[in-house]
Chain A
Amino acid sequence: MWDYTPIVKDHFLNPRNVGDIPDADAVGEVGSLACGDALKLYLKLDDNKDKIVDAKFQTFGCASAIASSSALTEMVKGKTMDEALAISNQDIADFLGGLPEEKMHCSVMGQEALEVAIAKYRGEPIPEHDSEHDHGHAYPDYEGEIVCKCFGITDTFLKKVIETNRLTTAEQVTHFTKAGGACGGCIPKIQELIAQVLGSEELQPRKRPEKLSNMKKMQLIQEVLERDIRPLLWADGGDLELIDIDGPRVQVAFRKACAGCASSGNTARMVEAKLRDLVAEDIVVEEVSA
């Protein structure tokens, strides 16, 4: 049984603002029957068309999906659209006193419906619904390339969730977005996206040293691999081994889940970016099959 907080239980058993607003200014729909959850959000604006004066929802989904929707409608009332857009999925979860990690995708769904509703109201461009996927789209209004075919989730959306919630493993991404939760075929791609996001982030304010002796450089490369790179790979069941360092050329071999992984090339680029960042600008990472 899930360990739901009393607030989640209360919003599930006594959901606020269920229903529709016939003359709503903005309506956002995400999810589908096939995905196992869906949310339709209605917003009514004040006369200045700025402040949200009423919000209603309809949700198909589990207890935390219903509670997240209920919480969202309570949170946006009285806020301007810009203030409402600042609500993150973590804010929704916090409002509820927390959600089990496996259920975080419910809060993401709420945040997403809000964005879609406001974007539609503002007439911001919304891409065509892509109907080639048999399960329908979880987040139809997000641009980008579809990563998870089962749930129809794009790379743009995934990167945003990875970044906002600082996710480091594919499993976490599944819990937050459902991507990868069905056939699992896109998990390597999700890992690649994580690597991209993490690679581009300045996680540590550490600076690369001005000048290095060869010995010091080799030591530092090893240190960065141990401290910054391998833990990321372990989180996804992968690993790498340092094979050789020859001037600026760093040879690594991928192990476990990384070995033979279709996206190991991108992982190698992530490693390279990190090493260039923290050791020396001219480093080139080569993948060897030793």
Chain B
Amino acid sequence: MKEIYLDNNATTKVDEAVFEEMRPYFCELYGNPSSMHFFGGQVQGKVTEARQRVAALLGASPEEIIFTACGTESDNAAIRSALEVFPDRRHVITSRVEHPAVLTQCRNLTQKGYRVTEIGVDGAGRLDMDELKAAVDTDTAMVSLMWANNETGVIFPVEEAAAIAKSKGALFHSDAVQAIGKIPINMADSGIDMLSLSGHKLHAPKGIGVLYLRRGTPFRPFLVGGHQEKSRRAGTENAAAIIALGKACQLADQYMEAENTTVMAMRDRLQDALMAAIPNARINGGGAERLPNTTSIAFEFVEGEAILLLLSELGICASSGSACTSGSLEPSHVLRAMGVPFTCAHGSIRFSLSRYTTDAEIDTVIREMPPIIARLRQMSPFGREFLKGQA
């Protein structure tokens, strides 16, 4: 069965050109970039090139790029560093809708005596900027806010938030894992101190991430050991993956326009058609500025896992903000924070597209989705009551 892959916020296909770029660095050019000999040196040359390519996509300079193993490591390193740099500041601010990579760490900090404020969002998923302004004080070591939400695609005004953090001397970090490659980012013209990126969200392989660290920002490394990454992240470089990420960033720059035109048009067509064909549905975060590739739609009276598995039977891969898929029993913390009613939070489905998505695939989903929802509603006691009311 050929898959229709609309789960690109979970992970993406490695671009063939990216794979070709990294291929020689396993069996042939396997040298250690730190070695003194020519064999390691040629790998180092490619790592340097990759660093430049990543920096170019971010509008950063190469020495501001620290390669890590994943987005989660970058997030952890950023927050820990801020706390070590400012031992007297005992307050951290984040949002209620952050990715667990940030949220779990912040919640753990409360057990270590830190004060943690989680800023709320409105019904459309927009950050409460007044709450943020009121929360930042001179005790705040770090404000960490995601650039764009993984579940809804809602974009936060991170530059404005960074300015608020700065006004009290706090460091500002943004988990930009979902945003990079989908919307333009320019760190040269930014007040953000640290930024996390994950390779596998933009057609590079899994196991490679970046922590952007603004020049002059005080920093304490998370991993200590060798002198790699200017002693800011010890451990032998994952050279092949770094080289792959460089290529992926170069391609992301080339495809940025398509992402915001072609991909966005397909996303809009998909959500408009589903909203027109299926009653009692709502777009989570529909009223906010969102990533061009993401839509999260809540269907009343049905449960997400059942929808996903029926889609999966047809080869369609999507994701759900619902309880039963993740092993937890609550609807996602993001949808709850937005106040999405329980009646439809359990039936929320996220479609996340990529530059590989085709119009034909969107047509298939538009055709297959309404009967799936109808079938499950027919089976659901609440759906039947609803259908009866409509007749």
Contact = CB atoms under 8 A, between A and B. Distances in A.
Contact of B346 (A20, A33, A174, A182): A33
Interface string B312-345: 0100000000111101111100000000001100
A66 B382 contact: no
Contacts of A34: 342-343
A43 to B, nearest CB: 15
A103 B325 CA distance: 10
A139 interface: no
Contacts of B303: 36-37, 60-62, 65
B381 interface: yes
A182 B382 contact: no
B306 A63 contact: yes
A58 B380 contact: yes
Contacts, number: 73
A12 interface: yes
Given A36-B303, A36-B323, A63 B309 contact: yes
A18 interface: yes
Interface string A30-44: 000110111110000
B231 to A, nearest CB: 37
B263 interface: no
Contacts of A62: 303-306, 324-325
A33 to B, nearest CB: 5
Task: Pick from B310, B313, B324, B342 the residue with the most CB of A within 10 Å.
Answer: B324
Contacts of B329: 36, 174, 178, 181-182
A135 interface: yes
Interface in B334-373: 342-343, 346
A13 B342 CA distance: 25
For the residues of A in contact with B, the DSSP-based class is: mixed
Contact of A36 (B313, B346, B381): B346
A180 to B, nearest CB: 9
Nearest to A39: B381
Contacts of A12: 306, 309
Contact of B342 (A20, A33, A181): A33
B324 A36 contact: yes
B330 A61 contact: no
Interface string A41-64: 000000000000000001111110
Contacts of A174: 329
Task: Pick from A13, A66, A174 the residue with the most CB of B within 10 Å.
Answer: A66
B383 interface: yes
Contact of A29 (B302, B379, B381): B381
Interface string B218-261: 00000000000000000000000000000000000000000000
Given A12-B306, A36-B303, A36-B329, A66 B313 contact: no
Interface size class of chain A, counting residues whose CB lies under 8 Å from the partner chain = 20 to 34
B172 interface: no
A277 interface: no
B126 interface: no
A18 B377 CA distance: 12
A135 B306 contact: no
Nearest to A60: B380
A33 B343 contact: yes
Nearest to A106: B324
A181 B330 contact: yes
A13 B310 CA distance: 8
B382 A38 contact: yes
Nearest to B343: A33
B384 interface: yes
B342 A135 contact: yes
A15 B306 contact: no
A60 B378 CA distance: 10
A36 B379 contact: no
Given A59-B381, A60-B379, A178-B329, 16 more contacts: A13-B313, A15-B379, A33-B301, A33-B346, A36-B322, A36-B324, A60-B302, A61-B303, A61-B306, A61-B324, A62-B324, A63-B309, A66-B379, A102-B327, A103-B324, A174-B329
25 contacts: A12-B309, A13-B310, A18-B378, A33-B343, A34-B342, A36-B331, A36-B342, A37-B303, A37-B324, A38-B380, A58-B380, A58-B384, A60-B382, A61-B303, A61-B306, A61-B324, A62-B305, A62-B324, A63-B305, A63-B309, A66-B379, A102-B327, A135-B342, A178-B329, A182-B329
Interface of A: 2, 12-13, 15, 18, 20, 29, 33-34, 36-40, 58-63, 65-66, 102-103, 135, 174, 178, 181-182
Interface of B: 301-306, 309-310, 313, 322-325, 327-331, 342-343, 346, 378-384
Shortest beta-carbon contacts, A-B, top 6:
A181-B329, A62-B305, A62-B324, A60-B380, A58-B381, A34-B342
